[in-house]
Amino acid sequence: MHPLQGTRGEGGAPLSDGRPRLVLGPTFWAVWPLAAFVFALDRWTKAWAVASLAPAGSRPLLGEWLRLTYVRNTGVAFGLGAGRGLPFAAITLVALGLVIALALSPRSRTWPRSIALGLIVGGAAGNLLDRMRWGSVIDFIDFGLRQNWFPVFNAADSAISVGVVLFALTLLGERGGSDDRAATAPGTPGGERGAA
């Protein structure tokens, strides 16, 4: 038996052994269903692209603005780094592990961060599976106008991009809140002054 197990303080509450405990709340569990949904959506849309777009190559969807174009991307999101022979599967696997570790951190127990991390994890897992199976990623969303076309991407790329932007906004909001608290703290310029 642990030395502190079963002992109680004066108020009757169990004494803590001082070890950190992992607190799992709704925001923690929200990451994984969202990641699973993004992953499933990515797999379904890519399977459809293989079956329907690969034979045709490209199909117009909204005139000259939006097309569905089947391509194989050997680079990262939006075709960056394509053809350079870099180990993108290994890089993606390491990045995915870091994001999952971040999702397990107590600092990520907010709804905006949980949503952001769920989007990133699901999208990264979808593209990682492509790289491990085929050495490339299936892209098919193609939009632009005349000669100005955005790199072809997929649902996973979209989820990752939205997740990264959302997570960055939470960091900016946290930093702004910290600056505001520091500015109004006692003894700081602009805040209350401590007792003389």
164 burial type by CB count under 10 A (0-12 exposed, 13-18 middle, 19+ buried): middle
Catalytic residue among 42, 130, 139, 142: 139
pLDDT recorded at residue 195: 45
- Does some domain include residue 114? yes
Domain count of the fold of the chain: 1
pLDDT tens digits along 69-119 = 999 987 665 555 555 545 667 778 888 888 888 888 877 778 899 999 999
pLDDT tens digits along 131-189 = 889 888 999 999 887 777 788 899 999 999 999 999 999 999 876 655 555 555 555 55
Residue with tokens 């993108």: 88
- Does some domain include residue 101? yes
Q: Where are the alpha helices (DSSP H) in 61-183?
A: 88-104, 111-134, 155-183
Q: Give the CA distances from residue 22 to residues 2, 25, 97, 106, in Å, rounded to whole numbers and listed in that order.
A: 19, 10, 19, 8
42 catalytic residue (yes or no): no
179 catalytic residue (yes or no): no
Catalytic residue among 42, 130, 142, 157: 157
The answer, yes or no, to whether residue 24 has pLDDT greater than 70, is: no
Range of the domain at 166: 34-50+87-135+150-177
